[in-house]
Amino acid sequence: MRNIVQRYCPVSESLDESLKQMKAIRSGKMQKKTWRELKRELQEDDGVKK
């Protein structure tokens, strides 16, 4: 049995967004985040606190 998972956006759109973020980080317009900072931010968005 195959499970089909729906994506929230096409892979190409996700890649384009990632490349835009990389360019913004390299040009100094966006701040780099560590894995821990990203994880904490995602947990706050979900309402989970640790």
Both tokens of 50, joined, read 């640790």
24 near 16, Cβ under 8 Å? no
Which three-class secondary structure state does DSSP give residue 33?
Answer: coil
pLDDT tens digits, 5-33: 787 888 999 999 999 999 999 999 999 99
Q: What is the pTM of this model?
A: 0.59
Confidence of residue 3 (pLDDT cuts 50, 70, 90): confident
Residue 8 has a pLDDT of 81
Residue 2 has a pLDDT of 79
Half-sphere exposure of 32 (CA within 13 A, CB side): 4
Residue 50 has a pLDDT of 56
